[in-house]
Structure 1
Amino acid sequence: MRLLLIDDEAPARAKLRRLLQAQPGITELVEAADGLSALALLQRERFDGAFLDIEMPGLDGLSLAQQLPTGLAWVFCTAHQAHALQAFDLGAADYLLKPYTPERLAAALQRLRQQLLRPEAAAAAGAGLRSALQQQQPIDAHWLVEQRGALVKLPISAIEWVAAADNYIELHAPPQHYLERRSLASFLAQPAAQGFVRVHRCHAVNAAHIQRIQPLPHGEAELTLSSGQTLRVSRGYREQLRG
C-alpha cells in the first residue's frame, strides 16, 4: 500500500513515518509539507491512502479532503478533536488524535484498508450527520453530581454519554459514572447539554467524543466513543440525524 503523509510539521511526519514503517503491507511512504504540495503530488501520482493533518497553512486538511481523488482513502491526524464530526461527514476512514500510540495507529490503518475494500459503506457511515451532530468545541460548563454525600462539579466535556435508567440517568465520564434522578429528556433540555444528541431512546452522546460511525444492517449504526465504548444508533434516530 502506497501512502501519502501530509503535515506541515516535519517532526510529526517523521514520527508517523517511523510508526507506519513498522506496520505490514506498506510499500512506500511519500511526504508533503502542505496541502497544495499534496494536491500536486496527487495529480501526478497514484496513492492508495493518505494521512492528513488538519491545521496547515494555506490549504488546510478539511479543504484538502474535499479535493482528494475518488478511490483514495484517508485518515485525519490532528491534535484537535473539535473537527471529528466534520471529518466523518467528509468520508474519513478514521480520526487519529495526537499523540497517538502504535496500537491506535494500527487500528486507523486497518480502517483505512476497510474503506478501500468497501468505499460505499464507509461513506454511508457519516453521510448527513453534520446537520444534527454539529461540530463541537470543548464545553466549559459543569454538571453537579453527588459523590460520597457531597456535590462535585463534573465538567460537561468529560461526560461521554448519558443513559436512561427508569426514573434515573447514568452520566458516563470514564472511568467513572454517576446516577441522578432525572429523565433523559430533562437532561437534554438543559442549556449545558447542548453538545449532546440523542441517538437511541435509551441514550444520548456527547458529539465531541464520537470517534467513529460504523453502518450496520437494517439502517442502524454503531458509534465508537473516545474511551472505546460502543453504542447503537437506532434506525429511527439515524434517519432523524440525516435531517
Structure 2
Amino acid sequence: MRIFIVDDEPPARAKLRRLLGGLPGVELAGEAGDAIEALAKLPTAAADAVLLDIQMPGISGLELALQLPPGLLCAFCTAYDEHAVRAFDLNAVDYLLKPYTPERLAQTIDRLRERLAGKEQARTRLLGALQSAQPLGGHWLVERRGALHKLALDAVQCVSAAGNYIELHAPPDTFLERRTLNAFLAHPTVAGRFLRVHRSHAVNPAHIQSIASLPTGEALLTLTGGHQVRVSRSQRQQLAP
C-alpha cells in the first residue's frame, strides 16, 4: 500500500515517515506541507491512500478531501477531535487523533487495507462484466470511477498494448482495460474498425492526419489533435506513401 502524507508541520511528517517505514507492505508515495502542494503532486504519486492533517494554512484538510482524485482513500491525522463527524461524512476511512501510538497508526493502516481490498474486489467484478458484456452497435464498455460507460468506438483514435492491458485513447480521456490487443481487435464489435500498424498499436483510420516516413523504413502517424504513433516497417506498406 502506498501512502501520501499531507501535514504542514515537518515534525509530524517525520514521525509518520518513521512509523510507516516500520510497517510491512507500506511505501511512502510522497508528502506535502499544504493542500496546494498535495494537489500538484498527487496525480503522479500513484498513492492508494492519503493521511491528511485538518488545520493547515490556506485550504484545510477537509476542503482538500473534497478535491482528491477519484478512488483515492483518505484518513485524517489531526489534533482536533471536533471535526470527526464531518470527516466521516466525507467518507474518511479513519480519524487518527494526535498524539497517537504506533499501534493506533497500524490500526488505521489496517482499516485502509481492508477498504482497499474491498475496492479491488469490486473492481475485479466490474472488469469481469467488461469481459463478458461488451455491447454491439459501435460502442465499447469502459470503466470510469467504478461504473460502466459506453464509449463510441469512432471517438477512439488509437489502442495501445501495455502488457496484458490495453489503453484506449479517446482524447481527452484514456481508458485502461485488462485485455490483450489481439483479443480487442478480434472482438466482433471492433473487427475491421482499427488498422494494426505496430505490434503494440492499432489506429482508427478516420483519425489519421498525416504520415511521415522515417530513415529506418518505419513511419510516424500523426492523429487528430497531434498524437503520434509509430508504424513498423512490416506494416508500413498498408499505408499510402
Q: TM-score by structure 1 length? A: 0.48
Q: Which one has more relative contact order, counting CA pairs under 8 Å at least 6 apart?
A: 1
Q: TM-score by structure 2 length? A: 0.48
Q: Select the structure of larger CA radius of gyration.
A: 2
